[in-house]
A and B are shown apart, each in its own frame.
Chain A
Amino acid sequence: MYIQLNYINVSTLLFLISLIGIFLNQRNILVMLMSLEMMFLAVSFNLIFSSILLDDIIGQIFSLLILTVAAAESSIGLAILVVYYRIRSVITVELMTLMSG
């Protein structure tokens, strides 16, 4: 039981670290994307662990699906980033304030 909780804590901690990584980062959008990937990984990890714990295959299927989606998402995200960089020639998050309320 101790080991199981440890796994859950590891995945939760990973998720929170990535969240804080997004949250605290004010400058670099690449770090934000990396944190987002890390968040996917934490969720995947949690799913795989649950799949083993509950002896159920669906968790692993989901995990594979998420890996695919994360790959697609990061590729699209990086593409958008490249397009943005071409226009603005800067990728600082603080300067992305064109659409204020």
Chain B
Amino acid sequence: MYIIVIILPLVGSLISGFGGRWLGRYGTSILSTTFVGVSFFLAILIFYETGLCGTTCYISLTSWINAETLSVKWGFLFDSLTGVMLVVITSISTLVHLYSISYMESDPHSPRFMAYLEIFTFFMLILVTADNMLQMFLGWEGVGLASYLLINFWFTRLAANQSAIKALVINRIGDFGLSIGIFTIFYLFSSVEYLAIFSISPFFQNYYLILLGYEVNCITLVGILLFVGAVGKSAQLGLHTWLPDAMEGPTPVSALIHAATMVTAGVFLMIRFSPLIEYSTTILTILTIVGSLTTFFAAMTGAFQNDLKRVIAYSTCSQLGYMVFACGLSCYNVSLFHLTNHAFFKALLFLSAGSVIHALSDEQDMRKMGSLIRFLPVTYSLMLIGSLALAGFPFLTGFYSKDFILEISQISTNANLKEVSGNIACWLGSISVFFTAFYSFRLIYLTFINNANSNRMFVNSIHESNWIILTPLFLLALGSIFIGYTAKDLFIGFGTNFWGTSIFNLPIRSIQIEAEFLEAKLKWLPFFLSIFGILIATTLNIGVRNFHKGIIFYSFFAFLANKKWYWDLIYNRFITYPLLVFGYKVSFKNLDRGFIEILGPFGLSNLITTCANITKQLQTGQITHYLFFMILGVCFFLIWANFSSYLFSSVVLYLVLLFFI
């Protein structure tokens, strides 16, 4: 059963990929959805066994690599962390599969799409179930590859190609850090298996490596390298630029990759390595600061985007920032709780957005929507549920995880634990709550409530989607409402032993209890901030519309945020183009085709030709010149013959005479 969960999507992918020609569109769709669905039910059973019954399961298949101390096995580790991830991945994946049956109905390459979706699910499952870093890296790279294939699904579009390449390349930067991290871990621990690494990591707490003349704590070093990988995959500030551009793929892809699974891999890595990074305060500080900056940046940028999917993409980026800084504050279980909840309401938002886009004949610009509340009441209510959950409305899913993360960040500011990084996280996180509510409801207003801005042609053809599209939305809406409340006590309740040994928390950094005893006003703060955001959005869209046209500050601000704070511009101008220019001018033109060729074949043959031409010019045809060279040659041989004799000086004298005559 444990292996079947992982193997089923692979088998389904192979069948629908290679046999799609014979199975047909509906055949592959139904087959792949069934396979992933079975996988989901088995994942629930695994969740029950590993999580609720607390039986950690460890399966070791054959050996993979055996070389001296490096011995890697095909092994699978199922603990409660893996169980939760399995349920999240397979459930979202099943619903996305179901959704795509109808959404991709008119696409000519539907079997290929299903195969990609399934291979993506398979690699994600490999990633979360691996028991060693190498196998995890296989899943990690496979997920990146599958994301490339999926974003590039409509491969005839230039923008899709560019986005896919961008996603893959930026992910590779993070993967590079992760692979160096794996090498470092093998160098330090002589093993790449989780169990070995985690059991001996406390002994490396005060172990220092000399790196470039500096003493570096090895746990910090490893943590930073792993975090570089997480930054790439989870789109944290610095390597986040691929995530909004990855919206070029079909909407179900965005829901699967950029909401629920792929981007959570980085956070999962941090949670999985909690027994290691917990021993280094430095890396936790870095996590907190980078995570909170990401939260703030993405929330603010998302508030000024005009593309429906891009707003949701930035909100994903922002919520990932919340998860990462929750890890940095050592509350890994809260982070995972938010990950779970976020998967549900973000998938709901993305799929609802897909429904809206589908209804509007593939129009994505929010400025060309409006008043869809009359036409799409079901989609509207579902999207409202998703937005309220995202904004942390009380008793919806987002409330239980996001507000708890904010309460945890409040501790370092307002309790006795004074911590600078926590303070930053608290401020930026709280401001982001306001922005989150603002852009969620800006989206709702622009899409559904404001006056219609689209063409009459489109308005005439607006229709509610069919039940295959709406069923996943209903199920996700149920999840968005109830998951948080249901799973709260299990995931982050007082003294819950759900996590067992899968998450490690140093007692000195265990601060969750403090969060329960905050002042009432601090607990109310996030709620008031979101209400404030909703009010501002309402005022701007209903009350004083277009008031901002005359304010220069607003336009500048919106310009900055709409252009994503010029991150892409700066990257292109100062990193990408100089590197491309370097690659063309220096390494291609000057080295490969220049220096090496001149020293090598081209230069040598050229030299020989030149010498031959010079020598050829000696043969002028003039008899006197020939005579000159003859006499010169005779003189030369005379010198040669008499080199050491006593006649040498007199011969030289004659020769010199000859020369100057």
Residues of A within 8 A of B (CB): 16, 19-20, 22-26, 32, 93-94, 96-101
Contacts and interface: CB of A to CB of B under 8 A. Distances in A.
Interface stretch (B42-50, B312-320, B550-558, B613-621): B613-621
Contact of A99 (B621, B631, B657): B621
Given A19-B631, A23-B627, A101-B616, A94 B661 contact: no
Given A23-B627, A23-B628, A96 B621 contact: yes
A93 B620 CA distance: 13
B631 to A, nearest CB: 7
Interface in B607-651: 616-624, 627-628, 631
Given A19-B631, A23-B627, A23-B631, A97 B661 contact: no
Contacts, number: 37
Contacts of B616: 101
B617 A96 contact: no
Nearest to A20: B661
A39 to B, nearest CB: 12
Contacts of A93: 622-624
Interface of B: 616-624, 627-628, 631, 654, 657-658, 661
A88 to B, nearest CB: 14
B620 A101 contact: yes
Given A23-B631, A24-B661, A101 B618 contact: yes
Nearest to B657: A16
Contact of A100 (B621, B628, B654, B658): B621
A89 to B, nearest CB: 19
Please report whether the interface of chain B is mostly helix, strand, loop or mixed according to DSSP.
Answer: helix
6 contacts: A16-B657, A16-B658, A26-B624, A93-B622, A97-B622, A101-B620
Contacts of B623: 32, 93, 96
A30 to B, nearest CB: 13
A48 to B, nearest CB: 22
A100 to B, nearest CB: 3
A26 B658 CA distance: 17
Given A101-B619, A101-B621, 18 more contacts: A16-B657, A16-B658, A19-B631, A20-B661, A23-B624, A23-B627, A23-B628, A23-B661, A24-B661, A25-B624, A32-B623, A94-B622, A97-B621, A97-B622, A100-B619, A100-B620, A100-B621, A101-B616
B433 to A, nearest CB: 89
B297 to A, nearest CB: 75
A71 to B, nearest CB: 22
A101 B617 CA distance: 6
A98 B621 contact: yes
A20 B321 CA distance: 96
A20 B524 CA distance: 116
Contact of A22 (B619, B620, B622, B627): B627
Contacts of B657: 16
Which of B616, B622, B628, B657 counts the most A-chain CB atoms under 10 A from its CB? B622
B303 to A, nearest CB: 82
A1 B192 CA distance: 101
A99 B620 CA distance: 8
Contacts of A99: 621
Contacts of A16: 654, 657-658
A4 B496 CA distance: 128
B620 to A, nearest CB: 6
A96 B624 CA distance: 10
B625 to A, nearest CB: 10
A76 to B, nearest CB: 17
A93 B628 CA distance: 14
A46 B194 CA distance: 103
Contacts of A97: 620-622
A93 B621 CA distance: 10
Nearest to A98: B621
A20 B657 CA distance: 11
Contacts of A20: 661
Contacts of B618: 101
What 9 pairs between A and B have smallest CB-CB spacing? A101-B619, A100-B621, A97-B621, A101-B616, A99-B621, A100-B620, A93-B623, A26-B624, A20-B661
